[in-house]
Amino acid sequence: MTVVQVVRSEWTKIRSVASTVWTLSLAVVVTVALGMLISALTDREFGRLGPADRLSFDPTLISFAGMSLGQLAMIVFGVLVVSNEYSTGMIRTSLAAVPRRGTFLLGKIAPATALALLVSLATAFAAFFLGQAMLDEHGTSIGEPGVLRAVIGGGLYMTLIAVFSMGVAAMLRFPMLSLGTLMPFFFLISGVLGNVPATEKVGRFLPDQAGRRIMQVVPPAGDDTPYGPWGGLGIMALWVLAALVGGYVLLRRRDA
């Protein structure tokens, strides 16, 4: 089978699996709804902020507050796209039909990435505009310096989270093992390393912490991060590339 045929076949699989619709829908709803809620609460409590907090107040980043949970659904989406066939045993049939492992992996990841990008960009723009509506006079506009970059970057961040999860799933194969690795990594290990003084400089270079930099318009007070928004996204992209290469290498070396 050619790459185009494999992509079409995998696109059909993605569309026909109910979990795809549910996980992506959940990513949209959680990200937008939680962002609106936190934006509304921030607007209500804005008067209690001190002078230093007001100087570093970032209304754009506030509207993306729901992305920390929305990325959970993107992780599940990325894992299921790659590892579902391992759990059902269909992977043997798929690899028999597409024996070239690189073509097989590309066929899975390409349509899933395109779908994740489309949904993520739509989510980022919706979260921004609705969040700013909740912030009222404390909000910002899409035309302000750095804001459009942050909104587009939010969509790219969620997409890269999904693709990173695909690479990890290609390495680990099974859904529960993949999720059991990714969830603690993003929601426990990364947070601990990034908030403990002894390890915070290491934590800055983890994929999620580096990638989130793209969504910042106003740097926090006293920020000494050694890279900028696009540099942070570049670091995250390197993590994603490493995961995909690892998935490809392991897929080539082992049986289904």
Q: In percent, how much of the chain has pLDDT > 90? A: 57
Please count the CA atoms within 13 angstroms of the CA of 211 that sit on its side-chain side.
Answer: 25
pLDDT tens by residue, 138-160: 889 999 999 999 999 999 999 99
Give buried/exposed letters for 13-24 (b at 16+ CB in 10 A, else e): bbeeeeebeebb
Q: Could you tell me which residue, 8 or 130, shows the higher pLDDT?
A: 130
Examine the pLDDT at 5 and tell me if it is beyond 80: no
d(C-alpha 229, C-alpha 239), whole Å: 16
Q: Please state, in angstroms and rounded to a whole number, the distance separating the CA atoms of residues 205 and 225.
A: 10
Residue 94 in this model has a pLDDT that exceeds 80: no
List all residues 6 or more positions away from 208 whose beta carbon is below 8 Å from its beta carbon: 71, 161, 186, 190, 236
Q: Which of 35-39, 133-137, 252-256 has the lowest mean pLDDT?
A: 252-256
For residue 256, pLDDT over 60 is answered with: no
* Mean local confidence (pLDDT), 7-16: 75
Taken in order 246, 180, 166, 70, the sign of the CA dihedral is negative
pLDDT of residue 255: 59
Q: Is the pLDDT confidence value at 96 over 70?
A: no
Count Cβ atoms below 10 Å from residue 38 Cβ, excluding itself.
18
C-alpha distance from residue 78 to each of 32, 217, 228, 233 (Å): 20, 28, 27, 19
219 — pLDDT class (breaks 50, 70, 90): confident
Task: Report the chain's terminal Cα–Cα distance, integer Å.
Answer: 18
| Global confidence as pTM | 0.92
Closest CA to 239 of 160, 153, 154, 156: 160
How far is it, in rounded angstroms, from Cα 25 to Cα 15? Answer: 13
**Quick one: pLDDT at residue 49?**
79
Query: How many angstroms separate the most distant Cα atoms in the chain?
Result: 64
In whole angstroms, what is the distance from residue 232 CA to residue 90 CA? 38
Confidence (pLDDT) at 10? 72
Integer CA distances (angstroms), 219 to 54, 150, 216, in order = 12, 12, 6
Q: Is the pLDDT of residue 18 over 80?
A: no
| Domain range summary for the chain, segments of one domain joined by + | 3-253
Helix axes 101-135, 229-253, angle to 10 degrees: 150
Classify residue 149 by burial, with Cβ atoms within 10 Å: 0-12, 13-18, 19+: middle
Confidence of residue 251 (pLDDT cuts 50, 70, 90): confident
